[in-house]
Amino acid sequence: MTITRRQFIGAASTAALSVAMSSRSLAANSGRLSPIKPARLRPGMTVGLVTPASNVPENEELYAAIDLVKSLGFDAKPSTNLFSRTQYLAGSDRERAADLNAMFADPDVDAIFCVRGGYGSGRLLRDLDYDVIRANPKILMGYSDITALLNSINLHTGLMTFHGPIAGTNFSEYSLEQYRRVLVNPTGQTRIGEPPPFETSPGVVERTNRLTPIVPGSAEGRLVGGNLSLLVTLMGTPYEPVFDDAILFLEDVSEPPYSVDRMLTHLWLTGKLERVAGVVLGKFTDDDYDSNTFSMEEVLRDRFEPLGIPTLRGVMIGHVDDQTVVPVGARARLDVDARSLTLLEAAVQ
């Protein structure tokens, strides 16, 4: 069948209009929705395992992730395409989105853990079934590239999602305690992200995990954020978080100071940074210093001090062994002077 130039242009215009209408529909629902809290974790629940971005290199690592879920007292249910690999992606976009949608729709699955970050979560945002997710609220936990999913799902459903450990690595004692504090035995007000205990002795002090005030003060708001690189890619799309009066938390890995500077400057140029109530800076690890650079501290101070918004650096969020669990969408209080981040509500029922 021969397609004329007019027919081709008409078909292309129809497709473009369909995408635009879809984007407008999402944008219309992008205001802050009523929060939805998933069920807390209890022994014997079934946890689904998904790879929405990249996959681990070897299958045995996936079996280890299944064993990790079992070690926490749950049954593990691998997604249909858990073992799929397509270059740097864990299978096709259609497969990965179908796995995530199916896990939310499956009445036998109580919570969902991501096995790995990497790259590719943002490619799924148009293919997620937000109505199904809203109707079947469950814990979704991961970090790094999973930031795109956590914020988009929270934005378009109101479901609180969780920036925390992945199933592809072991939990440290610290991470296990924080995970239990947020997802298993939550209380009305819970402090999260404080550095793990350190025993000071003559000539030995804590050097790695220190909380540094950037701008003093305190603030309250709903938590949004995660990996800085991923957050920047959401700007200008129907999936960017609501920054107004939020507590923004940020972390990153393998980004040198100039790169962090560029991304923070981009957020600043959008006018979003001035609209948040407070800023929590996690870990910026493997930042590849050289002799011709501002330090990471200088970059962070240069961008946040002029804003005058309460800002605390060094909270245990990010690509570190000891990481906390941060509920995206939960109300929290940042007190820079007390060096604390406190959840003002339980993020699970």
**Per-residue burial over 34-49, b = 16 or more CB atoms within 10 Å of its CB, e = otherwise:** ebbbbebbeeebebbb
The candidate with the shortest Cα–Cα distance to 58, out of 83, 22, 39, is 83
Q: Does the active-site annotation cover 144? A: yes
In the set 144, 152, 175, 229, the catalytic residue is: 144
Burial class (CB in 10 A: 0-12, 13-18, 19+), 15: exposed
Cβ–Cβ < 8 Å for 230, 315: no
Q: Does the active-site annotation cover 218? A: no
At residue 79, the 3 state secondary structure works out as: coil
Neighbours of 133 (CB within 10 A): 24
Q: At a CB cut-off of 8 Å and minimum separation 6, what does 323 contact?
A: 143, 164, 165, 174, 175, 178, 316, 317
At residue 63, the 3 state secondary structure works out as: helix
In the set 152, 175, 251, 255, the catalytic residue is: 251
Which two structure tokens, joined as six digits, stand for 272? 């979003």
| Dist. CA 156–CA 288, nearest whole Å | 36
At residue 266, the 3 state secondary structure works out as: helix
- Fill in the DSSP letter of residue 318: S
Q: Which residues are catalytic?
A: 144, 251, 319
